[in-house]
Structure 1
Amino acid sequence: MSRFHSSVSRRDFMKALGITGAGIGTAAVASATFNDIDGMITSGAAPKRPWWVKEADKATVEYDWSQIERFDARKVMNSPMGPPQWVSTEEWARVQKIAADNQADWIKAGKPGYTLRDHALYKGAMGGEGSPGVTNYSWLGPQKSPTPEKLGTTPWQGTPEENTAMLRTALRFFGAADIGILELDENVRKLVYTYPRVAPYKRYEFEEVDKGYEDDEKWVIPSKKKLYVVTIISQSSIDGYTTTPSWMQRAASDNTVRLNAGILAATQEFLRTLGYQAMAGHERNALGPAPAFAALSGLGELCRNTQVLTPDYGLMIRAVRLITDLPLAPTKPIDAGIWRFCHDCAKCSEACVSQAIPHDKEPSWDVPGGWNNPGKKVWYVNGVKCQSTREMLTRDCGLCMTACVYTKKDYAGIHNIVKSTISTTGLFNGFFKNMDDQFGYGTEFGPDHNPLQGDFNEGAEDFWVKNMPQFGVNSMIGLKNR
């Protein structure tokens, strides 16, 4: 149940803040009008957003394409090849032993969030990832659906706007929350990894061919056609995340990963039958960095912990992406005041057990380690600290995501009033952060209070008596504000 119920109107709230009449946060939502049937058909090409989310020409984070180069994902700390590059063999062996001991000890002791049934939920949510018979990530998809040629017809033809509206509807039907679209131009190509995070470590190559393919050494992206990157976000369970530190939090994340594998496969088959290709990579973090693709295509804004924070779902998402030759209409970046708000908040930094997320007021261009790709002015996370602590907490954490002011179910109308105010002025950012603390949102855990110090989330057991919605999420979020 939400801790904060309110019958305060938007106007009364603005009056209390002393900004009524200042033109801030009081815009009315205009109903959509269409001049003809084509306008109605293509209206779904642009995502329908709350009135307080503005389109922008550039993402709100500063970046410099001239400094960005294609990155080898084998360098990141959550790659099996990452730790040996940045941590001594002895230190990583120590971290892994602590993790193994913690897992055994916490299960045996029945620690809250780390009981046998909690572990079973986490393993079940993974769904046997990588096992025969389980829907898995793949470069070209199952390739079982018929092509237009086999059906005796020609490929689907529509305008980019019509195709985008069609694809968004199909993805929502398959289970996704939203999509963002980028043209794969010379700059966006720089975001495509050279090598993936996990095996098989084949190279991503651009070749002057008509069709993408793979062989024993490479995954090939065709260069002869105009291509688009489709970033797909799906919700994770806030009920799972708010039990963190726990295996239910990990289950909430991996449940979305498992569902995303099916969504991608369904989309690849959908596009195949329309007569188009969809290249999606072989694992959950394939092709390139999700936060970059998501922020540039308007699904959210980059935030302090270097993830993408969405206006509707907060950080409760997992993202996947695919490359297609279906003509699409790119979606623009957004400005909802999120990046600006992060300058004044830092709740994620306060909750970070390893203190890997900077507390500084201002972001920086300075890159702290080779596990990062330069070219953006952000709060670079110390990947060694983060991944080492996640490992010792038996493979995951999620406290930065749970602590976020945007991690809310939004049942109380006051939350959208707060977000609409944040989008238009930064004057009240500190006030909203403090009010979030006062109302008990976020998490009580942090560097001095966590399972590594013997402190567990006693409320984690409540997860098992909740009236859980399907997949642990409210699928109406993202629609009710339109």
Structure 2
Amino acid sequence: MNMQDKNTLPIQNPDEDDLPNISRRSFFKRAALAGTGVMVAGGAALAASKASLSGSRSKGIETIENFKPKDQRDVVLCYAVSPKLSQEVYPERNEQYARLHNKEFHFNYDIQTFEHKLPPDNTREGYDQADRALGHASWFPLIAAKSRAQAFTQPNTPLHSWDQSDVDAEKYEFGSAKRAATMIRSAARLFGAVRCGITRFDKRFVYDPMYDIIHERELYWDKDFPFEPKSVIVIMTPMDYDNVATSPSWTAEGATGNGYCDMSKISCQIAKFIRGMGYNAVAAGNEMANSVAFAIQAGLGEGGRNSLCLAPGLGPRVRICKVFTNIDFEDAYDYPRTWGIADFCESCRKCAEACPPQAISYDEKPGFEPTYEFADEPGYTWNNHIGIKKWYSDAKKCFNFWIENDTSCLNCMASCTFNEPDYWHHWFVMAINPAMPRFIHYWMSEAHPLFGYGGQSGKPVPGKVERFWKSGKGMNTNKSMKNNIGTAGIS
């Protein structure tokens, strides 16, 4: 099995005539060989080493002493969608944000027209009728299943039901914990996962209490959840590179909605599979717990400056879902790993520069508390889970831009240096990254947009919306079919 088969899900490869900057990419390949002899020599040895692509063991997420779970009522989307929280329980949060940012603003009132606020403009690239229709279509399976509320952190929806009445009376004998883990990863691969890791249930990273937005009530793990979970199966599903690259246009909502549908589909399938073998299981997307934290603990990637989990070979261009189960995987759990990605983020600020509302930190190092604008204002950092060592973003500013742009934003994904198509030189850079000195990291991040990658700002990058709309060209040719045949690598 070659490196591509082992580590990545093949992506669509449009005809080269449709790829912008293809000559620059070809130049980069040659320049990488001819102009960076030292890097090549060192990288050739590192590419075969254990640490290059499989990563090396790390200590995982660091938290302060006496760190406690986060109250889900303090998650921005949960707060905004709930009329009771936004209008009755914490109305001062609306008033404070509006005062500090000198604008009329109300989380709940503004989100009620989200994705329907602005009419399509057929003269504006990325904001016409087709772009809006694509976004709405991408979410339709969740809407039809009456489960879109789970994207706004609602627990116990039809697709992510807590009902355990279908748990088989007879427990399947796996034979070993390793066999159990392998079988579940195989099922995840079949259902569409590109990565799957398994970690122990960790109360630090769940929401407690959870919040039922539909019934406006708190839910607790110890008295409301149907069983005591022992493990968390963490699953990543990929997002389309060309579509993500159109951010912050309406077009990019296609990758977002489709990603959430994939999350729900795969996680509910795995949960059903486990219940059919006689064990408890509940699927979850962004509700119930911090997906990024569990993905890091399961060894699927590292926490980046953009507050996302950056996975080798995919960067942040993934959606993460989870399955809580009472299966004990004993000695078969995955462990946190590092590929030097977080170290790279210390020198790279592309996501922060590309963020339209400037919600991402420019701090050199991660810390245990927010340092962004107004972080010292009492009560302003309610949305952050303070006490985790990471880069803190201001999700309220991010939310504000969503409302203004009338769609979600993927700039922090699209601009990331680790968000790249599946070309050999990107895997080469990934392999040598852990051993490269800081000035090389800086050079790599600066070179990234020069070859047509990233470059996001408050407007769509010219040409990338049209590139997406042409990405289906030739998809049934022999060349295209050859490039898309392969096995999704499951960690």
Q: TM-score, normalised by structure 1?
A: 0.78
Alpha-carbon distance between aligned partners in 1 of 2:52 and 2:186, rounded to the nearest angstrom: 21
Answer yes or no: is 1:467 the counterpart of 2:451.
no
Q: 1:325 to 1:196 in 2, by over 3 A?
A: same
* Matched letter for residue 395 of structure 2: G
Partner of 2:138: 125
Partner of 1:183: 200
Q: How does 1:145-184 map to 2 (within 5 A)?
A: 147=168, 149=169, 154-184=171-201
- Three-state SS of the structure 2 residue aligned to 1:190 is helix
Q: CA deviation at 1:73?
A: 1.6
Partner of 1:87: 94
Alpha-carbon distance between aligned partners in 2 of 1:11 and 1:71, rounded to the nearest angstrom: 45
Answer yes or no: is 1:18 the counterpart of 2:38.
yes
**1:218-277, Cα deviation, whole Å (9 max, x unpaired):** 631534xx7101111111111111111222211101101112212122112211111111
- Three-state SS of the structure 2 residue aligned to 1:121 is helix
Alpha-carbon distance between aligned partners in 1 of 2:326 and 2:309, rounded to the nearest angstrom: 25
Alpha-carbon distance between aligned partners in 1 of 2:68 and 2:462, rounded to the nearest angstrom: 42
Partner of 1:192: 206
Q: CA deviation at 1:10?
A: 12
Alpha-carbon distance between aligned partners in 1 of 2:115 and 2:186, rounded to the nearest angstrom: 44
Answer yes or no: is 1:245 the counterpart of 2:237.
no
Any unmatched runs of 5+ in structure 1?
31-48, 208-217
Partner of 1:35: none
| 8 Å Cα contact 2:302-2:341 kept in structure 1 | yes
Alpha-carbon distance between aligned partners in 1 of 2:63 and 2:485, rounded to the nearest angstrom: 36
Alpha-carbon distance between aligned partners in 2 of 1:65 and 1:240, rounded to the nearest angstrom: 38
Q: CA deviation at 1:129?
A: 2.3
Answer yes or no: is 1:416 the counterpart of 2:427.
yes
- Three-state SS of the structure 2 residue aligned to 1:92 is coil
Partner of 1:277: 280
Alpha-carbon distance between aligned partners in 2 of 1:204 and 1:77, rounded to the nearest angstrom: 18
Partner of 2:233: 230
Partner of 1:73: 72
| 8 Å Cα contact 2:110-2:403 kept in structure 1 | no
Partner of 1:326: 327
Q: CA deviation at 1:458?
A: 4.9
Q: CA deviation at 1:57?
A: 3.7
Partner of 2:127: 114
**1:172-200, Cα deviation, whole Å (9 max, x unpaired):** 1011111121112xxx1121111346624
Answer yes or no: is 1:355 the counterpart of 2:370.
no
Partner of 1:46: none
Structure 2 counterpart of 1:5, from 20, 23, 26: 26
**1:282-327, Cα deviation, whole Å (9 max, x unpaired):** xx31121111111111110000011101002111111111111223
Q: 1:256 to 1:85 in 2, by over 3 A?
A: farther
Q: CA deviation at 1:406?
A: 1.1
Q: 1:205 to 1:52 in 2, by over 3 A?
A: same
| 8 Å Cα contact 2:361-2:392 kept in structure 1 | yes
| 8 Å Cα contact 1:236-1:318 kept in structure 2 | yes
Alpha-carbon distance between aligned partners in 1 of 2:316 and 2:485, rounded to the nearest angstrom: 15
Q: CA deviation at 1:136?
A: 4.4
| 8 Å Cα contact 2:171-2:279 kept in structure 1 | no
Q: 1:274 to 1:19 in 2, by over 3 A?
A: same
Alpha-carbon distance between aligned partners in 1 of 2:143 and 2:114, rounded to the nearest angstrom: 26
Q: TM-score, normalised by structure 2?
A: 0.77
* Matched letter for residue 325 of structure 1: N
Alpha-carbon distance between aligned partners in 2 of 1:220 and 1:10, rounded to the nearest angstrom: 56
Partner of 2:309: 308
- Three-state SS of the structure 1 residue aligned to 2:252 is helix
* Matched letter for residue 414 of structure 1: H
- Three-state SS of the structure 2 residue aligned to 1:343 is helix
Percent of matched pairs sharing the same residue: 23
Answer yes or no: is 1:387 the counterpart of 2:399.
yes
- Three-state SS of the structure 2 residue aligned to 1:441 is coil
Q: 1:65 to 1:164 in 2, by over 3 A?
A: farther
**1:417-449, Cα deviation, whole Å (9 max, x unpaired):** 111121222341011011113223102424xxx
| 8 Å Cα contact 2:449-2:455 kept in structure 1 | no
Q: 1:461 to 1:326 in 2, by over 3 A?
A: same
Q: How does 1:444-463 map to 2 (within 5 A)?
A: 444-446=456-458, 450=459, 457-463=462-468
Q: CA deviation at 1:116?
A: 1.4
Q: CA deviation at 1:330?
A: 1.2
| 8 Å Cα contact 1:181-1:330 kept in structure 2 | yes
| 8 Å Cα contact 2:52-2:339 kept in structure 1 | no
Alpha-carbon distance between aligned partners in 1 of 2:114 and 2:316, rounded to the nearest angstrom: 30
Q: CA deviation at 1:18?
A: 2.2
- Three-state SS of the structure 1 residue aligned to 2:367 is coil
Q: 1:294 to 1:244 in 2, by over 3 A?
A: same
Any unmatched runs of 5+ in structure 2?
1-15, 148-156, 376-380, 477-482
Structure 1 counterpart of 2:161, from 139, 142, 152: 139
Bigger drift between 99-108 and 431-440 goes to 99-108
Partner of 2:220: 205
Runs of 4+ in 1 over 6 A off after TM superposition: 94-99
- Three-state SS of the structure 2 residue aligned to 1:405 is coil
Q: CA deviation at 1:101?
A: 10
Q: 1:163 to 1:124 in 2, by over 3 A?
A: same
Alpha-carbon distance between aligned partners in 2 of 1:189 and 1:97, rounded to the nearest angstrom: 33
- Three-state SS of the structure 1 residue aligned to 2:233 is strand
Q: CA deviation at 1:124?
A: 1.0
Q: 1:343 to 1:198 in 2, by over 3 A?
A: farther
Alpha-carbon distance between aligned partners in 2 of 1:16 and 1:442, rounded to the nearest angstrom: 23
